[in-house]
């Protein structure tokens, strides 16, 4: 795989007969996604420098803007090129209008200060911040040429075991940030990208500290917007941050544990614990109720409930058959996932490290902390290990 030709833009492998002048099929198909977003998007894409054509600016300070990578609920992300001598491509996130740039950057400063003290291969570097001429905050970040972790795992048809190993790496990166007091608050597949280095996959966590800087209030307005619904974000929001009675409390590490649990659920089963379409259609109040009150089905049961075509498809993407997949999930993995998704933060894993440790134990066939094991199960584990 290492010497395979890849798209210079998205990193997807190209077929051997792919012609030099041809476009990458993945990039072409992705045009359908941005169209879908654009047509229901209430505000046009940000144009930081102004004067850009067709919503597509040319330049921001020293940065030459090459392309629009996506429009999210917080703003627009561009691919840009640094001026010499730095050179190299970077991701530029321009915050949408309506937020005070000075406030955003003030809030980010504390986080950034903490983050500069750590370098972790699993965390995308923040390079620079600033304000556009029209008063919007922007962030310049390391450009990660990767794909969302869920997409990567499905594309590569990774087994449950390999998915878990990648997930542990995500936890380790986040734990490093938690150690210096930075909580992510916006963990979702599009913020955890996987890149291949030397033929091996490595997850990279994006946008650390940004959610807090934007002070993304989890209100009807911000969460129930067309954009966040399309990107499926509400599924990842912890129940304690969806307090309908007023301003939600400050997020802590256990909020990230919850969102990681949703990610783990999706990696294992192919869909988040709560049906995205149902949440989309439910209306704000009902959405809050589901996330705050409904107990999700354990992953194993979810797979069994899929039935025929859908179950076979999910299992195929994990290199197995539906029945075997359900067996793999029931027991430890069900228990681990459910322990991350508990409504009361104080009953969840208290740290991302504890969660990672349990997943690692499961991978080594050792007892996991969230399960009180019967003698039979312990014996089976002991025999398997010895």
Partner 1 sequence: MAAFDTTNWSVIVRAAADDSATAREALAALFEVYWYPVYAMVRRYGHNATDAEDLAQAYFARLIEKGWVKEVRPEHGRFRSFLLVSVRNFLHNERDRERAVKRGGRTRAISLDGAAAEQRYALEPVESSTPETIFERAWANEVLSRALERLRNETAKTEGADRFERLKGHLTGDEPAETYRELAEAWDVGESAVRVALHRMRKRLGTILREEIADTVADPADVGEELRHLLTTVGQ
CB-CB contact of 70 with 76 (8 Å): yes
Task: Report d(CA 296, CA 275) in Å as an integer.
Answer: 10
**Distance in Å, CB of 67 to partner 1, minimum:** 4
Work out which of 29, 102, 285, 379 binds partner 1, going by CB under 8 A: 29
Q: Which is nearer to partner 1, 219 or 312 (CB)?
A: 312
Q: Which is nearer to partner 1, 157 or 347 (CB)?
A: 157
Examine residue 195 and tell whether it contacts partner 1 (CB under 8 A).
no
**Distance in Å, CB of 99 to partner 1, minimum:** 27
Work out which of 41, 59, 61, 67 binds partner 1, going by CB under 8 A: 67
* Binding-site string for partner 1 from residue 85 to residue 124, where x marks contact by CB under 8 A and - marks none: ----------------------------------------
Tokens representing 207? 């946008």
In the window 145-184, what residues touch partner 1 (CB under 8 A)?
147, 151-152, 154-157
Q: Which is nearer to partner 1, 55 or 121 (CB)?
A: 55
**Distance in Å, CB of 203 to partner 1, minimum:** 16
* Binding-site string for partner 1 from residue 289 to residue 328, where x marks contact by CB under 8 A and - marks none: ------------------xxxx-xx--x------------
Taking each helix axis from N to C end, the angle separating 299-306 and 308-316, rounded to the nearest 10 degrees, works out to 130
Binding piece for partner 1, criterion CB under 8 A, among 7-15, 204-212, 220-228, 251-259: 7-15
Number of residues that bind partner 1 (CB under 8 A): 52
Q: Which is nearer to partner 1, 9 or 107 (CB)?
A: 9
CB-CB contact of 248 with 212 (8 Å): no
Task: Report d(CA 170, CA 21) in Å as an integer.
Answer: 36
**Distance in Å, CB of 319 to partner 1, minimum:** 9
CB-CB contact of 211 with 274 (8 Å): no
Instruction: Tell whether the torsion through CA atoms of 161, 162, 165 and 171 is positive or negative.
Output: negative
**Distance in Å, CB of 13 to partner 1, minimum:** 5
Tokens representing 81? 């090129």
162: Cα separation from own chain's centroid: 18
Examine residue 375 and tell whether it contacts partner 1 (CB under 8 A).
no
Examine residue 34 and tell whether it contacts partner 1 (CB under 8 A).
yes
**Distance in Å, CB of 151 to partner 1, minimum:** 5
> Which of 212, 292, 300, 282 lies closest to 245 in space, CA to CA?
292
Binding piece for partner 1, criterion CB under 8 A, among 22-30, 134-142, 332-340, 350-358: 22-30
Examine residue 35 and tell whether it contacts partner 1 (CB under 8 A).
yes
Q: Tell me which residues touch partner 1 (CB under 8 A).
A: 7-9, 12-17, 21-36, 38-39, 53-56, 66-68, 79, 147, 151-152, 154-157, 230, 277, 280, 307-310, 312-313, 316
């Amino acid at each position: 795989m290492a010497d395979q030709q890849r798209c210079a833009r998205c990193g997807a492998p190209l077929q051997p007969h792919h012609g030099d002048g041809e476009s990458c099929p993945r990039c072409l198909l992705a045009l359908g996604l941005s169209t879908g977003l654009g047509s229901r998007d209430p505000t046009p894409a940000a144009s930081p420098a102004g004067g850009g054509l067709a919503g597509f600016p040319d330049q921001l300070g020293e940065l030459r803007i090459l392309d629009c990578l996506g429009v999210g609920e917080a703003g627009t992300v561009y691919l840009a090129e640094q001026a010499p001598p730095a050179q190299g491509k970077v991701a530029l996130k321009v915050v949408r209008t309506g937020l005070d740039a000075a406030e955003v950057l003030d809030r980010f400063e504390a986080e950034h200060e903490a983050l500069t003290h750590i370098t972790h291969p699993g965390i995308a570097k923040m390079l620079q911040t600033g304000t556009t001429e029209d008063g919007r905050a922007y962030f310049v970040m390391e450009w990660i040429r990767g794909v969302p972790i869920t997409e990567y795992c499905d594309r590569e048809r990774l087994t449950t075991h390999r998915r878990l190993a990648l997930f542990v790496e995500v936890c380790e990166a986040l734990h490093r940030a938690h150690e210096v007091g930075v909580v992510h608050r916006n963990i979702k597949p599009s913020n955890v990208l996987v890149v291949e280095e030397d033929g091996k996959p490595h997850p990279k966590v994006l946008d650390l500290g940004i959610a807090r800087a934007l002070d993304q209030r989890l209100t009807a307005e911000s969460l129930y917007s067309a954009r966040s619904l399309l990107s499926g974000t509400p599924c990842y929001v912890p129940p304690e941050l969806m307090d309908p009675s007023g301003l939600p409390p400050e997020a802590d590490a256990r909020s990230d544990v919850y969102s990681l649990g949703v990610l783990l659920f999706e990696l294992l089963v192919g869909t988040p614990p709560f049906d995205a379409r149902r949440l989309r259609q439910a209306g704000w109040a009902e959405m809050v109720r589901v996330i705050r009150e409904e107990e999700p089905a354990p992953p194993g049961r979810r797979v069994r409930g899929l039935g025929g075509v859908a179950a076979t498809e999910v299992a195929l993407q994990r290199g197995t058959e539906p029945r075997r997949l359900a067996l793999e999930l029931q027991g430890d993995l069900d228990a681990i996932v459910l322990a991350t998704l508990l409504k009361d933060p104080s009953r969840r894993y208290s740290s991302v490290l504890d969660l990672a440790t349990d997943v690692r134990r499961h991978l080594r066939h050792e007892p996991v902390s969230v399960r009180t094991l019967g003698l039979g199960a312990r014996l089976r584990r002991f025999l398997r290990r010895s």
